[in-house]
Each structure stands twice: as C-alpha cells, then as structure tokens.
Amino acid sequence: MEIRHATNPEDFKQYSTERIRKDFLVSDLFGEDEVNTVYTHYDRVILGGALPVEKSLELTTPVALKVDYFLERRELGVVNIGGLGSVSVDGQRYEMAARECLYIGKGHKDVVFASRSSDEPAKFYLVSTPAHQAYPVQKVNLQQAQAYELGTASESNERTLYRFIHAEGIQSCQLMLGMTVLKPNNMWNTMPAHLHDRRMEAYLYFNLSDKARVIHLMGEPHETRHLIIQNEQAVISPSWSIHSGMGTSNYAFIWAMAGENYTFEDMDAVAMEDLR
Ligand SMILES: O=C(O)C(=O)C[C@H](O)C(=O)CO
Ligand SMILES: [Zn+2]
C-alpha cells in the first residue's frame, strides 16, 4: 500500500507540476487481477481499485494498517465502474452491475471481488475511512439514489449528482460517497467552486476516452493550480483546496468525502472574483 502524507497550503504554493502529480494524483489503481490501495493522511482515507479478470480477488490487509483484517477499524464504499461482477462479504454475495454502490461496515472479515466474465470484467473503485461503529452492508443503484439535476446548458455544466452513502441514504460513520454524471456537451463540474474545511474529498474521473482529459483545478481559491487527468485516475483534494474540473469531453466522476461533519451543507461557496 502506498502512503501519501499531508501538505500545508503554504508549502503547496512552491510545488512543481511533478510534485503536485506525485502528491495528489492517483494513477494505476486498476491493474489486472490486482487490488491496489493508497493510504492518504487526509482524514486517513484509503483509495483503491480491484480488477478481477482471471480470478477472484480478496481484500487483503496491508501490513501498514497493523490490524488483523482490513475492516477491523474501517468502513468501505465500493462502486463498480466496469462490467457485471460481485462482492462477497463474509460469504454473502452481492451482485454488482455497472454504477452500483455497496457499503460494507466495520467488522466484516472477508471481502472478495469477482467478475462475471473476463471479457468484460467488473472494475471496483474502493474508498475506505476509519469507523467507530458497525453499520449494515447495503447496496444502492442509480435509480434508488437521491438524484439532483445541477447546472445549465449556457454554463456547460448540466449534470446529475447521485448521493449513495450519506445521512439520508446508506448510513455510515463518516464516509459520504456518490457519483456525478455530466450530460453530453457539458464539460464543467463544481464551478462555482466550494470548500469544506471539515472534510477532505477525492474524485475518481471515469468514462473518458483514451485521448480525453479533465483539467482539474485545485489549491486555495486565491492560489490555484491544475492537474491534467486521464480516464480512471483519482485526485486527492485536501480540505483547504477547491476541487473542480473541465473536460475535453463529458465524463463521470465518483466523489467521496470524509472528516468531521456528516453533511453537505457546511460548504463555503467561493465567489468567482476570489479565484486566482
Ligand atoms: O458536480 C458537482 O458539483 C459535484 O459532484 C460536487 C461534489 O459532490 C462535491 O464536491 C461535494 O462536496
Ligand atoms: Zn466538495
């Protein structure tokens, strides 16, 4: 498991392109027949990917966690961005179609990822956060999730924001997770931008063609930087950073937050005139 340390926004101002990518861009989550994880010191969130092709894959316990099993003191959100598959939790199997989300609470010992077909494997994006209480395993799909229609055609940001794991949906200790899908010919997400100092956030961009890119904006509002992001790469957004993107085509992304407050409502909007 790779470990990413946290950054002070004052230091961040000096970072080169290479350093920004090294610290905040998460690539190569999805290797064939691999489970890959990245531990961030931002609210101790772990990002991961599981891509079972020829065999099923167990969620093993990285030595660095110093526990007997992965979910001993953690909870986990799983979203399938690939073909049909399943996730088994202590022997109970959950079929996972594309864009379905499974929440697995603290205390479950065995988690196994599998694909229905190696020609069109499932691809599981994982987000795990520390947990103090055991909430039940639950699954949700796009039809069942709370959906919000956001943006306007004139601002090129018409999109549907689905909330999966949140206070009025699947219950968790601190993980909040959902998916935002941009409509065709719409490229902007999360502009006007916002901050939420009580929570970090991570975005996994997907559904981009090989040549398409998202220009992701980060940093304090008066000192922004950018990352050029490819399909199925994630970006870590510290609590002091805006997180907004503009694509060369439309795309979708999975957002996940963790930290102190379990709400969307404590976000601070950033005025356009404050962006630099
Ligand atoms: O499209 C959007 O806007 C988002 O998806 C915003 C994220 O959900 C977010 O940043 C929540 O804090
Ligand atoms: Zn946010």
Nearest CA to ligand 1 atom 12: 264
Q: Whole domain around residue 206: which residue ranges?
A: 2-274
Among 149, 160, 161, residue to substitute to test ligand 1 (most atoms within 8 Å of Cβ): 161
Q: Residue 176: pLDDT band by 50, 70, 90 thresholds?
A: very high
Which atom of ligand 1 is nearest the CA belonging to 189? 1
Q: Is the ipTM of this complex over 0.95?
A: yes
Token pair, residue 106, equals 């603290």
Give the count of domains, the chain.
1
Q: What is the distance between the alpha carbons of residues 135 and 90, in angstroms, rounded to a whole number? A: 15
69-87 pLDDT tens trace: 999 999 999 999 999 999 9
Token pair, residue 182, equals 């941009």
Q: What is the distance between the alpha carbons of residues 149 and 144, in angstroms, rounded to a whole number? A: 15
For 264, the 3-state DSSP assignment is coil
Annotated binding site for Zn(2+): 194, 196, 201, 243
Distance 82 CA to ligand 2 centre (A): 25
For the domain that residue 248 is a member of, what is the CATH number? 2.60.120.10
Question: What size, in residues, is the chain?
Answer: 276
Predicted local confidence at residue 142, as pLDDT: 98
Among 148, 163, 180, 199, residue to substitute to test ligand 1 (most atoms within 8 Å of Cβ): 180
Q: Residue 97: pLDDT band by 50, 70, 90 thresholds?
A: very high
* Whether this model's pTM surpasses 0.95: yes
Residues 6+ apart with CB under 8 A from 66: none
Ligand at shortest distance from the CA of 163 = 1
What dihedral do alpha carbons 205, 209, 210, 211 form, nearest 10°? Answer: -100
Predicted local confidence at residue 254, as pLDDT: 99
Burial tier of 72 (Cβ tally within 10 Å: 0-12, 13-18, 19+): middle
For ligand 1, residues with CB inside 6 Å are 150, 159, 161, 180, 189-190, 196, 201, 243, 255, 257, 267
Mean pLDDT of 171-199: 98
Nearest CA to ligand 1 atom 6: 190
Mean pLDDT of the chain: 98
Mean pLDDT of 23-44: 98
Q: Residue 58: pLDDT band by 50, 70, 90 thresholds?
A: very high
Nearest CA to ligand 1 atom 8: 255
108-157 pLDDT tens trace: 999 999 999 999 999 999 999 999 999 999 999 999 999 999 999 999 99
